[in-house]
Homo-oligomer: A and B are copies of this chain.
């Protein structure tokens, strides 16, 4: 999916919601456990119940890898039933030396057919560039993450009196443009988001951290919206585990609908 198609979907659905498919066998409703593939069955019902309210789904790879090759099969089946017009993000935090990143890029963009993958920046340019060689595919680079550990290294100060994450933003944004790269910016640092916006005014951000992690959608919009929206805001646990009975998909839809309505209203307030 290219940038223009993504922006069109945001306008059409009045939503910039990404639903995180952090599907955990220990948390899904127990009546699904006697299905042949409970993880896929859970995902199938969530996708069917919510796909008109969100513009992206984001499977978190750890939740599939914990089930080994069986987990990868659940993921492969899930990807096949997500509609074409939805942006598919692999939350994988990959990144390695060039020849290995090339293999990861093929794994996620060709074998699995994701539109985007989250990538960790620590290993620098040749670890990220292989992901940028695919048409209409995206790198979503970690910049300022939503967790408490973000202060350990991302917020270290450089000898140029800049946060380390600012160097990542400045350097990485020179490797590509806003047609192929986005950044992860956590909702738990709304004021920092203002600094990030100043460095990369036109890029999209993938924003985790609203809901269970405590970030606020209003604050994210206040500091992160740009003239083409520029935000994909993720919610995982709050939506997919909204219910725990046979009606879990309906409950997930209710929760997603509440967030989509809030997004619609925030977009309107901001002149979209």
Contact = CB atoms under 8 A, between A and B. Distances in A.
Contacts of A95: 93, 120
Contact of A121 (B62, B63, B66, B122): B122
Contacts of A121: 122, 153
Interface stretch (A9-17, A40-48, A159-167, A244-252): A159-167
A111 B96 CA distance: 23
A112 B147 contact: no
Number of copies: 2
A69 interface: yes
A167 to B, nearest CB: 6
A218 interface: no
Contacts of A152: 124-125, 171
Interface in A150-202: 150-154, 156-159, 161, 164, 167-168, 171
A164 B24 CA distance: 36
A208 B75 CA distance: 32
A11 to B, nearest CB: 31
A66 B106 contact: yes
Nearest to A157: B159
Interface stretch (A97-105, A223-231, A253-261, A263-271): A97-105
B156 A167 contact: yes
B97 A124 contact: no
B96 A123 contact: no
Contacts of A104: 62, 65-66
Given A62-B101, A107-B62, A147 B126 contact: yes
B127 A153 contact: no
A181 B24 CA distance: 28
Interface of A: 22, 24, 60, 62-63, 65-73, 75-76, 91, 93-98, 100-101, 103-104, 106-108, 111-112, 120-128, 142, 145-154, 156-159, 161, 164, 167-168, 171, 208, 213
